[in-house]
Every structure is written in C-alpha cells, then in structure tokens.
C-alpha cells in the first residue's frame, strides 16, 4: 500500500490511528473462521481506527476515488471470513465508535455507536435500566454493528427472533461516502423501499454501519432451565411444535446429542444430569412468577412425555441452571482441535429428524461422524466436519460438505442460518439461488457500491 494512502489516513484520523506495521495489524487480519478453511489474508493492509462517522465518510470518499479496497471490521467474532482482507486493503476497525448515544426508556429503545460490544450493551442495560435486549449470539465480544451486518441469531430466537426483528434505525456511511440514516425510533414505516432491512445481514458490503437503534423489552423476572431426554431425535423434534402450538414459547429450545453432552460435561469437569435417553432438549423458559415457571415446566414435560420422553430434570437452583447452560455452551470445545468446519444449516423444524437421519447416513458413507447440536426450535443445527487423523482437511471435505448442503436444500432449507455467507459460503450461492437472483444481488451491490470497494468477496 502506498505511503500516500497511510499519510492520508493519518491526516483524517490522527497519527496514532493508522498503521501498516505488521506487528500491529496482525490481530486485524483474521476472525474466528476455522484455520483450515480460512482464506489467506493480505499483509499489505493499513488498519485505521476512526472515531466518528465523519471520519469514516472521509475515508470512504478517498478510497472510492482511489479505488482502494476497504474492509470494515467489528469484533472479529464471525466464522465465515467476512472481515478477512484477501486483497491489500484499508481495514476500518470500528472499535473507537464505542459510545452510548442514548438510552431512551420512554420509547423502549437504545442507540449506540456500532463499535459498542454486546458485553458493553448488556452492562449499560443492567446498570441503568429494567429493560433488556434479547439477541445473544454467544460471543459477547461481538460488536453491535457487526451483529446487525450479519443479522446475528443465537439461542433466544425461538421467542425473540433474530437481530432483524429488533433493529429500528441505522446510521450508515455508503461506499461512496455519503452518511445516511435509515429507519427511526418507529415501529411502522412504509415510505419507499425498506433499505434498513436490506442493510441488515448484508455483511458490510453495502455500507459501514456507524450507529444502531435497537428495540428493548421488559425483563422477565424469573427464568428456568429444563432438560428433557428422549431415545430418538424424532421424538424430541415432535415435541417442539406441540409445545409451541400449546401457546408456550420458551426463550430457547436447544438440541444436544447425548454423546456430545457427556463429552462437553467431562471437558468442564462435571457430569450431564440425565442418564436415560440418547438425545436431550434443553429448554430455557421465563415468566413473571415462580409459579408460572413451574406451571410452564410441568406442561412442557407433559407434552414431551406424550412424545415418549424418558426423563426430565428441572434445574431448581441457579447453580444447577448455570451448570447445564455451561455444558451447552461447551458442546463445541472438546471437538475444537478436530473441527475442520462448523456448519450452520437450517431446515423447516419438522424436517429435523429426516435431515439428521440423512446427514448421519452421509457421514457414515465417508466413514466419519458428524456431531450435531443446535437450535432445534429454529430448525438450525450446527454440525462439525472433523479433520482427518493428521489434523488436516479430509480429502472428501468439499464433496462431503456439498452433499450436506444439498441435503438441507432438499428440505427447503438454507446453507447458512445465522453465521452468514461471507467468503467461505459464497461459492455455494448457486446451490441455493437461481442465476437471476444472484444477478439481482450483484445489481444491488453495484447500486450501492459502483466501484466495488467495500467488503468485497462477501456474498457477491
């Protein structure tokens, strides 16, 4: 990257906030993508840390004029290489846009700069409000702007939905440098096309998000955790719609294969609470009183028993709740060293049993196993493709993965439910979409970013 570029960026953001020193930019070249599948980052990058939308606007105007690729980077917690600069790029880190703009309790909304982390947002809320924000993708180092750009999901989607459902306004800087505000502190807005919803999930390719207004909700006073065990995935899966149809909407309904749960428990030095059965559902429920919680738990167990549940455990103490949720959070950890790729497919929830049967059969064909756990209430299952015995990508990786993707699509599913397309899934767009749809997406990209400078390589 030319010296004049770094000089220009120092001029915009200050001498301390633009560097191409490899030791300083190293930490900005990768995200949480599994090592074996992540693309190589260009080392010829400049990391710049603007402190305002205006500085970002100046950077983009300059980059757009000089045709320099730009990567906007949030917390770097993504797993699809969305922020890996595969070409020499200006990397805009949003970490200094870390201020609370306004906690507006009267409208049940909060506005933050996009570099505020989820951890900070939760802290602000717990310190100064009885309101809460429901989306939690797991890693609290995620920045709110990144969570919008990737339309983050997580376990709470059964009840509260995904990021899209809660974003009310965005300030963004367009690739051509203009600052625009989309949406507002509004619950309804039908003027023009909804550009707000187009930006959500567009992975930084259409603009850099600088401010986010989120809807907040009243906290539930009580929450509880419930483990119900089954002998088959089918019985477990059949319980889910029956529960939802009865009017109970748990905050989360998680599915874990017992073999995984046992490994995860052992890994963190504890044991899985249930001995019967081979798969488990973990329910997180909330309510306005302990009685309501107990009542809801009873009803869930009753419905599960009607679907052949073989065991159920209500976590009475908060310590026991924490133990179960810690195990759930660690289902991935024992496999970490052996994971080549973590998949993120979703299918219609009712197709989960057939889908899991299919992918188990496919894994057998490749003489491997494919551990499954995930958000069964959303039809979103995470599977791990394991490395070969030498810790490398297995020779069948590409073929195996494509077969799995096609299986999800056969059920009307999606290749990626919540992780996003990024650079690692982009090559599979044509499995899921027609040529005309992909052309439309390319056309949209061009409308926003005529010189194709921003977060190139994601999606289109």
Subset of 326-365 contacting a second copy (CB under 8 A)? 346-350
CA-nearest of 74, 86, 162 to 414 is 162
Alpha-carbon gap, residue 238 to 236, rounded angstroms: 6
The total of other beta-carbon atoms located within 10 Å of residue 349's CB is 19
Strands (E), 39-118: 46-48, 70-73, 90-93, 100-104, 109-113
| 356, 244 Cβ separation under 8 angstroms | no
Q: Which of 54, 275, 291, 437 binds a second copy (CB under 8 A)?
A: 437
Q: Is 417 in the site for a second copy (CB under 8 A)?
A: yes
The upper half-sphere exposure of residue 381, i.e. CA atoms within 13 Å in the direction of its Cβ, equals 33
Task: Evaluate whether 300 touches 241 at the Cβ level (below 8 Å).
Answer: no
The reply to whether 185 sits near a second copy by the rule CB under 8 A is yes
Q: Nearest distance from residue 135's CB to a second copy, in Å?
A: 12
Q: Which stretch binds a second copy (CB under 8 A): 15-23, 140-148, 303-311, 440-448?
A: 440-448
Residue among 12, 56, 200, 209 that touches a second copy (CB under 8 A): 200
Single residue of 44, 102, 178, 316 touching a second copy by CB under 8 A: 178
Beta carbon of residue 178, minimum distance to a second copy (angstroms, whole number):
5
Among 52, 120, 414, 451, which residue sits at the site for a second copy (rule: CB under 8 A)? 414
First-to-final CA distance of the chain: 25
User: Is 102 an interacting residue with respect to a second copy (CB under 8 A)?
Assistant: no
Instruction: Specify the residue, 34 or 418, whose C-beta has the smaller distance to a second copy.
Output: 418
**Exactly one of 61, 197, 266, 401 binds a second copy (CB under 8 A); which one?**
197
**374 to 403, contacts with a second copy by CB under 8 A?**
375, 377-380
Least distance (Å) between residue 315 CB and a second copy: 23
Task: Kindly write out the interface string for residues 44-73 of this chain, putting x where it contacts a second copy by CB under 8 A and - elsewhere.
Answer: ------------------------------
255-274: which residues touch a second copy (CB under 8 A)? none
User: Sign of the C-alpha dihedral, residues 207, 209, 212, 214?
Assistant: positive
Please select the residue that binds a second copy; options are 343, 419, 455, 456, rule is CB under 8 A: 419
Stretch that binds a second copy, among 45-53, 54-62, 148-156, 324-332 (CB under 8 A): 148-156
Which tokens hold the place of 245? 């149809």
Which of 218, 318, 333, 392 forms a contact with a second copy (CB under 8 A)? 218
Minimum Å gap between C-beta 448 and a second copy is: 6
HEC string for 284-337: EEEECCHHHHHHHHHHHHHHHHHCCCCEEEEECCHHHHHHHHHHHHCCCHHHHH
Asked if 176 interacts with a second copy (CB under 8 A), we say yes
Encode 130-162: b = buried (16+ Cβ within 10 Å), e = exposed: ebebbbbbebeebbbbbbbbbbbbbbbbbbbeb
Kindly state whether residue 194 participates in binding a second copy, applying the rule CB under 8 A.
yes
219 contributes a contact to a second copy by CB under 8 A: yes
Considering the complex, what minimum distance in angstroms separates the CB of residue 444 from a second copy?
Answer: 6
Under the criterion CB under 8 A, does residue 306 sit at the interface with a second copy?
no
Q: Does 438 bind a second copy (CB under 8 A)?
A: yes
């Amino acid at each position: 990257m030319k010296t004049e570029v770094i000089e220009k960026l120092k001029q915009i953001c200050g001498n301390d906030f633009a560097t191409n020193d490899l030791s300083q930019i190293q930490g900005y070249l990768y995200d949480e993508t599994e090592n074996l599948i992540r693309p190589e980052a260009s080392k010829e990058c400049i990391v710049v840390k603007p402190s305002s939308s205006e500085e970002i606007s100046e950077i983009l105007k300059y980059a757009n004029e000089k045709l320099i690729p730009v990567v906007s980077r949030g917390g770097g917690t993504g797993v699809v290489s969305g922020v890996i600069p595969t070409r020499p790029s200006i990397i805009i880190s949003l970490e200094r846009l870390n201020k609370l703009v306004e906690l507006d309790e009267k409208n049940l909304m909060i506005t933050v700069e996009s570099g505020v982390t989820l951890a900070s947002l939760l802290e602000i809320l717990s310190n100064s409000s009885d309101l809460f924000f429901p989306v939690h993708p797991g890693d609290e180092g995620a920045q709110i702007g990144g969570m919008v750009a990737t339309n983050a999901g997580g376990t709470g989607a059964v009840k509260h939905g995904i990021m899209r459902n809660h974003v009310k306004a965005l300030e963004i800087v367009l690739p051509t440098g203009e600052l625009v505000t989309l949406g507002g502190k509004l619950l309804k807005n039908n003027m023009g096309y909804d550009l707000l919803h187009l930006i959500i999930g567009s992975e930084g390719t259409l603009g850099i998000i600088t401010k986010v207004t989120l809807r907040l909700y009243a906290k539930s006073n009580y929450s509880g955790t419930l483990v119900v065990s089954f002998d088959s995935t089918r019985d477990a899966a059949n319980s889910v719609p029956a529960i939802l149809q009865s009017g109970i909407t748990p905050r989360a309904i998680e599915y874990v294969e017992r073999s995984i749960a046992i490994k995860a428990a052992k890994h963190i030095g504890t044991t899985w609470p249930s001995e019967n059965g081979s798969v488990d559902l973990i329910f997180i429920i909330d309510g306005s009183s302990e009685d309501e919680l107990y009542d809801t738990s009873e009803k869930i167990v009753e419905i599960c028993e009607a679907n052949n549940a073989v065991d159920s455990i209500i976590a009475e103490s908060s310590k026991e709740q924490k133990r179960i949720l810690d195990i759930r959070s660690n289902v991935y950890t024992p496999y970490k060293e052996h994971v080549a790729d973590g998949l993120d497919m979703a299918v219609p929830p009712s197709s989960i049993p057939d889908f899991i049967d299919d992918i188990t059969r496919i894994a057998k064909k490749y003489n491997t196993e494919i551990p499954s756990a995930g958000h069964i209430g959303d039809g979103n299952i995470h599977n791990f493709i394991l490395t070969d015995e030498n810790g490398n990508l297995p020779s069948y990786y590409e073929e195996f993965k494509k077969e799995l993707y096609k299986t999800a699509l056969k059920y009307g599913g999606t290749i990626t439910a919540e992780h996003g397309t990024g650079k690692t899934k982009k090559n599979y767009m044509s499995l899921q979409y027609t040529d005309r749809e992909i052309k439309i997406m390319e056309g949209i990209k061009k409308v926003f970013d005529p010189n194709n400078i921003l977060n190139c390589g994601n999606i289109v």
